[in-house]
Amino acid sequence: MPTRRTVLAALTCACLLMFAAAQAADATDYCVSEAGCVAAGGINEGTSANSIQAAFEAAEKHTNSGAPDRVLIGAGTYSRSEGFAYGGDPVIVRGAGAGVTVLTRPVSPGPSILALSSSGSTVQGLTVLIPAQAGLIGVTLSAGTLEGDALEARSALTTAFALNISGGVFTHGTVDVQSGTGVEGHGGEVAYSTILGGRSATSGLDFGVQALAPMTLRGDRISGGTPVLSYANPLTVEDSLIDLGGTAGHGVQLVGNINGKSLAFLRHVAIVHGGGGIGLLVEGQKENATALLENSIISEVETPIWVIAEGAGTTASVSADYSSFDASKAKTSPSGGASASLVAEHVLSTLPSFVSPLTGDYRLAPGSPLIDAGTPGATLGLGELATDLAGNPRIVHGRRDAGAYEYQWHAPTVTGTADKTRVQIGKPVSFAGSAAAVEPGDAIASYQWTFDDGATAPAGASAVHAFAMPGAHTATLSVQDLAGLSASAVVNVTATPLSPCAAAACSGCGAAAGESATCPLLRGLRGLRIKPRSFHAAPAGGMTGGRRGASVSYTMLGGVSLVRFTFKRVLPGIRSSSGACVAPRRGAHGRSCKRFGGALGSFSRISPAGGNGFRLTGRAGGKALKPGNYLLSAHIASRPQAIATAAFRILR
């Protein structure tokens, strides 16, 4: 049976083990030139370049099973001849921002400036500055993630490569070299980044990405003398923009040689901006080379696709589907018993219509023939990314577009206002509207105001209208963009009735109320005319307004009046024995006459003294009137017995 001393010893040992485990599990912050980090309890490693490496080594020695340790580096430029390297347990290395925290090293032979070989580690928020020296590597990445970092080579000489990646992910970053190769790939993934390879006019050794082993390029913008050179089997390029920068180079060059076969999958890729040159060059040099092109664009190059095969038994091939390029300019060049082929289905041989190639905006403009022209179907394919190069949904409108970007089909945004929202009937209200197109390259094509009393205004962003009837009313501004998408905004206005004084018959109360009442008995309507009297009904719209139909004019005597208009169908009839005009019946006899059907439509207009007019569309109830004869009648609301009429005819 254990003694008291044995039990206490065991408990003490267990507590020590638990404490040690807790210490190991705690994440530690290592601070370099970061006062805030130290104030929060982090370990101060100092302010020099050696302090960064010291922090890395401390984190490598510290074992934890919880959240990863952090190395927080403040603003400054840190130069170390041995470079910086980390390969321990997962750690987060965070600078103060690209261009703010800079790692570099002297101009001398030596290792890469930064080496990361720790799976699960992340480096973010800093710039690796490569000095002007031939053959120098900026970053060696074999595991982990470089996120939001900048690799910048300030060199007039040939830099071997800014990023040497064999594993892990470089994402949301920038690689910029003036001479040499931006990325040399032996594996891993470069995602959502900008790769600016060497742009020397004479070296011939400038590449954005040089892929030597299987790797993935996804959501990238890549340029350089030759943006992509690949010996890989396979290379995957998706949702990426390959920009030749106006040079006569090759957008994507795929080479199979004595070192092995080469295979590339290119999906939703845009190869553009060549000053001549070749979009996709596939070369079988005594070993096979194959490219699979899907939902992609090759534009602004002299030769969109060139397939070259050399050596007996060698095969070079391109298979293209739902892609846009000038098939008449594609070439195949077999030699020495080799086979070169281009098999293209659903070729979209048409100009893409980009938003602004001159400024590098290669999104599809409204009306582009490549919108909704990609692979049919609203379901993503195996391994297909759900977003495009801009991070927007890949499938919109039920089908893919061709190229790196997907047109999003956003309707315009619309706003409308009125200078007054409560007004007396007959008083004009000024309406103003504005609209903005959401899609890049889009614009507003039309504006139209309509009102709930059936009236319309001339097309435009502004309008003036008076409501004839009291109550709540709406004015609607409808707009349409270049892609045919519509949107609207509604403005609410309340119309109040005339005061009793204003409607009285010259009793003198108008002056007492501060109004100039006009005696209804002195008011009148004269000269109601329709021109032309025969016309075709408008294909759309309300009863009045627009440009189609006929012009109605009349003159008002006296002051402002509310005039009510009604139109009825004129029908044939016969006189009955009582003298009434009735519908003809079989066998009935009598003199012919004209009779009138029920009211097909009615509306009111506030009419000031003098000449007035509007356009009659020949429509009622949302439909065009049937061909035939009609009668328009008008009377002042306060004098329903005084009616003016005018006849018109709707043509077939």
CA angle 218, 221, 223 (to 5 degrees): 125
Residue 66 has pLDDT above 50, yes or no: yes
Compare 590 and 81 and report the one with higher pLDDT: 81
Higher pLDDT, 515 or 451: 451
pLDDT at 497: 83
Domains, the chain, ordered by start: 413-496 (2.60.40.10), 518-650 (2.60.40.10)
Q: Is the pLDDT of residue 562 over 70?
A: yes
310-348 pLDDT, tens digit per residue, is 999 999 999 999 999 999 999 999 999 999 999 999 999
pLDDT of 2 reads 45
Judged by average pLDDT, the poorest of 77-91, 436-450, 479-493, 538-552 is: 538-552
Given pLDDT bands bounded at 50, 70 and 90, which one contains residue 158?
A: low
Q: Take residue 451 and report the two structure tokens written for it.
A: 């009102």
Query: For residue range 258-287, what is the model confidence (pLDDT) as tens digits?
Result: 989 999 999 999 999 988 889 999 999 999
Give the whole-angstrom CA distance, residue 346 versus residue 319: 11
Segment holding 10, helix H or strand E: helix 4-25
Confidence of residue 426 (pLDDT cuts 50, 70, 90): confident
What number is the average pLDDT over the span 35-43? 95
In single-letter form, the type of residue at position 541 comes to G
| 297 closest CA partner among 404, 189, 451 | 404
Strands 550-557 and 524-531: antiparallel
Confidence band of 154 (pLDDT split at 50, 70, 90): low
Could you tell me where the DSSP H helices lie in 449-601? 500-503, 509-512
User: How high is the pLDDT of residue 170?
Assistant: 96
Is the pLDDT reported for residue 8 higher than 60? no
d(CA 550, CA 552): 7
Give residue 539's pLDDT: 92
Structure tokens at 297: 């664009």
Query: What's residue 159's pLDDT?
Result: 60
Contact 569, 630 (CB under 8 A): yes
570 against 199, higher pLDDT = 570
- Mean per-residue pLDDT over the chain, rounded: 88
Is 94's pLDDT higher than 70?
yes
| Mean pLDDT computed over 365-378 | 95
Q: SS3 breakdown of the chain: % helix, strand, coil, rounded to 5?
A: 10, 50, 45
Higher per-residue pLDDT: 402 or 206: 402
Q: How confident is the model at residue 523, as a pLDDT? A: 64
133 or 345, greater pLDDT: 345
The span from the CA of 345 to the CA of 261, in Å, is 24
CA distance 65 to 409: 48
What are the distances in angstroms from CA 45 to CA 29, 94, 126, 498?
10, 15, 18, 84
Condensed to tens digits (0 to 9), the pLDDT of residues 203-258 reads: 567 899 999 999 999 999 999 889 999 999 999 999 999 999 888 889 999 999 99
Integer angstrom CA distances of residue 428 from 64, 387, 476, 557: 76, 50, 16, 20
**pLDDT given for residue 22 in this prediction:** 38
Measured between alpha carbons, how far is 422 from 350 in angstroms, rounded to an integer? Answer: 55
Helix (H) or strand (E) holding 76: strand 76-79
DSSP structural state of residue 312: T
Reported as a single tens digit per residue, the pLDDT across 479-511 is 999 999 999 999 999 998 865 544 443 333 333
The pLDDT-based confidence of 650 (bands split at 50, 70, 90) is very high
Find the mean pLDDT for residues 142-170.
Answer: 82
Residue 532: asked if its preceding bond is cis (omega within 30°), the reply is yes
User: What is the predicted pLDDT for the residue at 500?
Assistant: 52
Contacts of 233 (CB under 8 A, 6+ apart): 214, 260, 261, 262, 263
The pLDDT value recorded for residue 183 is 95
SS (HEC) of 115-151: EEEEEEEEEECCEEEECCCCCCEEEEEEEEEEECCEE
